[in-house]
């Protein structure tokens, strides 16, 4: 739910997360709201969109539930890469969980990693690039970044994405994203063109 909320905010779209419940996000609700993601309960789920004031920097510290989930760290990094200001993301659960930072830098993100902390300085907009997801959450973050980037983004390593997200491309297409899967067994790449969404 948090990953798709990040996709809505980075594209300046609005998504109804059917059957979603805010309390299941734990500390992520406060972090996302501080970053400029509107989350509001609806009769049949949660509505997620970018706040009218835009995306703004915030600091993130991963912790066991109900703290901020480490699984949401990479998607939030993609989101914060386009937020006004500088954010610090500290990963306390897993070592070497910032491998997606180098791929986001290929898209124009300004990210410096120092041990378990990444400093993210937001840029107005990311640009399309050829990138590769090295794990489930990194692949999701790159898809989100591609949706918010100018031009076309090709994301490899979707075998990782498919392990953690059920039909993510199809769900995003249903929300209006322009995505094409191609390659052997349809797991090698996704093309995203945010100028059309």
Q: Which domains does the chain have, with CATH numbers?
A: 2-196 (3.65.10.10)
pLDDT at 189 over 60: no
Residue 195 vs residue 82, higher pLDDT: 82
Phi, psi of 102 (to 5 degrees): -65, -35
| Number of helices followed by number of strands (H, E) in the chain | 7, 11
Q: Which residue has the tokens 């050829």?
A: 130
pLDDT per residue as tens digits for the range 77-117? 999 999 999 999 999 998 888 999 999 999 999 999 999 99
pLDDT of residue 59: 98
Share of the chain above pLDDT 90, in %: 75
Per the confidence metrics, is the pTM higher than 0.85? yes
pLDDT at 194 over 80: no
Cα dihedral value 2, 173, 171, 74, nearest 10: -30
C-alpha span between 125 and 128 (Å, rounded): 10
Region for 16 from its dihedrals, namely left if φ exceeds 0, alpha if ψ lies in -120 to 50, beta otherwise: beta
Phi, psi of 61 (to 5 degrees): -130, 115
Six-digit token string for 2:
């948090």
Phi, psi of 44 (to 5 degrees): -115, 25
pLDDT per residue as tens digits for the range 12-23? 999 999 999 999
């Amino acid at each position: 739910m948090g990953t798709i909320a990040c996709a809505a905010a980075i594209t300046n779209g609005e998504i109804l997360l059917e059957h979603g419940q805010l309390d299941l996000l734990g500390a992520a609700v406060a972090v996302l709201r501080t970053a400029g993601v509107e989350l509001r309960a609806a009769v049949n789920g949660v509505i997620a969109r970018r706040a009218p004031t835009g995306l703004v920097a915030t600091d993130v510290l991963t912790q066991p539930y109900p703290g901020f989930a480490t699984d949401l760290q990479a998607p939030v990094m993609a989101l914060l890469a386009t937020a006004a200001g500088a954010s610090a993301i500290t990963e306390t659960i897993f070592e070497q969980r910032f491998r997606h930072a180098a791929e986001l830098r290929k898209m124009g993100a300004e990210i410096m990693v120092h041990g378990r902390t990444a400093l993210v300085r937001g840029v107005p907009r990311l640009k399309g690039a050829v990138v590769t997801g090295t794990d489930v959450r990194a692949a999701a973050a790159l898809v989100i970044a591609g949706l918010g980037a100018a031009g076309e983004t090709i994301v490899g390593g979707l075998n990782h994405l498919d392990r953690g997200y059920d039909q993510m491309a199809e769900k995003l297409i249903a929300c209006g994203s322009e995505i094409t899967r191609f390659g052997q067994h349809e797991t090698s790449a996704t093309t995203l063109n945010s100028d059309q969404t």
